[in-house]
Homo-oligomer: A and B are copies of this chain.
Amino acid sequence: MAALFRGSRTVLFSWNKHVDSAFGNVSALCTRTMASKTPVGFIGLGNMGTPMAKNLLKNGYPVICTDVFPESCKELQDIGAQVVDTPADVADKADRIITMLPSSPNVIDAYTGNSGILKKVKKGTLLIDSSTIDPYVSKDMAVTAEKMGAVFMDAPVSGGVGAASMAKLTFMVGGPEEEYTAAQELLTCMGANVVYCGQVGSGQAAKICNNMLLAIGMIGTAETMNLGIRLGLDPKLLAQVLNMSSGRCWSSDTYNPVPGVMEGVPSANNYQGGFGTTLMAKDLGFAQSTATSTRSPIPLGSLAHQIFRVMCSRGYANKDFSSVFQFLREEEGQ
């Protein structure tokens, strides 16, 4: 598999012209070419899709959008996007289309349904799916799109609603290498990092891997912090020790699950906001499925999946996934 970062072999991070004012020339260039920007289609205006589409508008791209819930389109319409009825209508008017949908069936429907993109897609259209779905569905869509002369790429994101609003998402991109530059042009309007991962499905694969390790690190941090507290250690001190030692991980140093250790994270806000347990369980379901089909043992990933699954049945579905600390902790009064 060809695997490289475009632009520069050593710098992983693409620039983000809104954030980094040092790149003045780049911004100027973008502004100059705005007049000639052709419309971009956007399908799926949920919590993530809306700010992503807004960032395309801010970058001067005319946006043609739709959603199964028409009311979801209102916010975009108010700031200048053109709203149409169906994905097919989007495909009729735009030759670059981004989809951001909640699950595999929604993606299948938006592409191959009766009013789907592929009913009216033009030859040469670039289709970028930023949904997190089964990588096998991504591959299927790519094969189907190719038959219509279109190009399908998967580009799932890392980062939540906040990152989407600030154009700070990370995109993990899979698809034909020769189309990557075209995809990158749009994705850099919405994200701070764009990484080319390989053939179609690789973006999903990379995201699944990241989230599985994230899940393991989070549960591991939660149970370690809990054990340390039970052994009499101060939580903040323990977090400091871990973070200066080999126990360090993103969940311990950036998103600590123990209330009182850090500010500005879900654990400081009763596990509101953030990344819901049910979404983590969904992603771990993909990890589990792909591990099963590739016969890869994932003992901790699999157990992490089960733990988040049980949490969903015990009232934690909509809390941030770092609430696993609360889940593992002894209840008051016991």
Contacts and interface: CB of A to CB of B under 8 A. Distances in A.
B304 A236 contact: no
Contacts of A206: 228, 233, 237-238, 241
Given A246-B255, A295-B309, A216 B217 contact: yes
A230 interface: yes
B233 A202 contact: yes
A281 interface: yes
A19 interface: no
B331 A298 contact: no
Contacts of A297: 223, 226, 306, 309-310, 313, 328
A213 interface: yes
Interface stretch (A90-98, A177-185, A285-293): A285-293
Nearest to A291: B227
B310 A227 contact: no
Interface stretch (A27-35, A117-125, A193-201): A193-201
A334 B310 contact: no
A248 B302 CA distance: 19
Interface in A271-330: 281, 285, 287-307, 309-310, 312-315, 317, 327-330
A247 B250 contact: yes
Contact of A246 (B158, B201, B234): B158
Contacts of A240: 5, 12, 195
Nearest to A13: B244
A135 interface: yes
A68 interface: no
A22 interface: no
Given A220-B217, A300-B304, A312-B334, A12 B244 contact: yes
B328 A198 contact: no
A331 B315 contact: yes
A81 interface: no
Nearest to A255: B246
B12 A232 contact: no
Interface of A: 1, 3-5, 12-13, 135, 158, 170, 172, 193, 195, 197-199, 201-202, 205-206, 208-214, 216-217, 219-221, 223-228, 230-234, 236-238, 240-242, 244-252, 254-255, 281, 285, 287-307, 309-310, 312-315, 317, 327-331, 334
